[in-house]
Amino acid sequence: MMLIADGGSTKSNWCLIDKKLDQNVYFNTEGYNPYFIDTASIIESLQNSIPEDINKTGIDHVYYYGAGCSTEAKNEIVIKAMSSVFPNAEIYVGHDLLAAARALLGKSPGFAAILGTGTNTCLYDGNNITLNIDSLGHYLGDEGSGSYIGKRFLRDYMRKLLPETLHNNFVEAFGLSNEDILDAIYNKPLPNRFLASFAKFVYDNNNLKYCRDIVKEGFTAFFDNLVCNYPDYQKYSFNCIGSVGYNFRDILQDVAKHNGMAVGKIIRSPIDDLVNYHLNFMD
């Protein structure tokens, strides 16, 4: 049996492939970004999240593509956890950006991006990532991501710059003081998830010009600071995975076209296409 997972900073989508079954088994867990979570916490989360009817000792291969899994040291945090939970499995841990490229492009070269809790981009040669401009995370970069949009929204909320109706709706929905927000960002774990959680509120109110404007501002910064800095970027189609890119895809398509890029695939989750990649192209 084989497990394949695409892990963002907030959520991981899993698929169990068992040739004895007529259909694959899908389930979700937390995201396991090793910049924000340690081995013990990953083990505890997996033990509590994996469906009870899955035989963990029967898994012989685990392919986990995760946010933050970009160096040997960080990957080892995840590998140790996976090896503990799936003791008989051969474990592969790779970057979620490679999963995005493989899901979006298969074996064809091109441009791939992630727009979810965080942001990432790359050029892909059909097998591996050949160029990646560092997104720099939620403190320094991640333009266009959920955390970027959430940060932009909260900044206006805290400075009382939101339209009055939107401000009142936010107070009613969350009741957060400026002190609550600062404490969550600077003193509590997983500030990127906290910031990104408010992108949904922006989406729920995207009929308002203010909300659409800050999303467009975020996507414009995403292109200006990342996409447009790739050599000959306009010769590639724009392909993207992630809830933020998918939910605001009409705005994203407009910004891509404004920057001279044809639009390819924009999908919410790569898991189905990633499973197909493993079944079709990997032994």
The tens-digit pLDDT sequence of the chain (283 residues) is: 889 998 877 789 899 987 776 678 888 898 888 888 889 999 999 998 888 888 888 888 899 998 888 888 999 999 999 999 999 999 999 888 998 999 999 899 999 999 998 899 999 999 899 999 998 888 888 999 999 999 999 999 999 999 999 999 999 999 899 999 999 999 988 888 899 999 999 999 999 999 999 999 999 999 999 999 999 999 999 999 999 999 999 999 999 999 999 999 999 888 888 888 888 765 5
Could you tell me if residue 136 is inside a domain? no
Q: Which residues on neighbouring strands pair with residue 94, listed in sequence order?
A: 65
Residue range 106-144, pLDDT digits in tens: 899 999 999 998 899 999 999 899 999 998 888 888 999
Its pTM stands at: 0.82
CATH code of the domain containing 81 = 3.30.420.40
Q: Could you report the per-residue pLDDT of 13-40, keeping only the tens digit for each? A: 899 987 776 678 888 898 888 888 889 9
Tell me, yes or no, whether 152 lies in a domain: no
Residue type at 20 in one-letter notation = K
Strand order in the sheet with 119-124: 129-131, 119-124, 110-115, 238-241, 263-267
CB 99 within 8 A of CB 6: yes
In a domain, 85, yes or no: yes
Residue 48 per-residue DSSP state: H
Q: What is the pLDDT of residue 17?
A: 85
**Domain containing residue 92:** 2-99+271-281
Instruction: State the virtual CA torsion across 263, 266, 271, 275 in degrees, nearest 10.
Output: -30
- Is there a domain that residue 117 lies in? no
Domain count, the chain: 1
- Provide the residue count of the chain: 283
The Cα–Cα gap between 90 and 282 comes to 15
| Residue whose pair of structure tokens reads 């040739």 in the numeric block | 19
Is residue 126 classed exposed, middle or buried when 0-12, 13-18 and 19+ CB atoms within 10 A define those classes? middle
Identify whether 78 is part of a domain: yes
User: In the prediction, which pLDDT does 124 show?
Assistant: 95
**Is residue 53 situated within a structural domain?**
yes
Say how far apart CA 34 and CA 83 lie, in whole Å. Answer: 15
The reported pLDDT for the residue numbered 69 is: 87
All residues at 6 or more sequence positions from 48 whose CB lies less than 8 Å from its CB, including other chains? none
Q: Can you give the pLDDT at residue 71?
A: 87
12 located within any domain: yes
Q: What is the structure's pLDDT at 282?
A: 59
Specify if 87 maps to a domain: yes
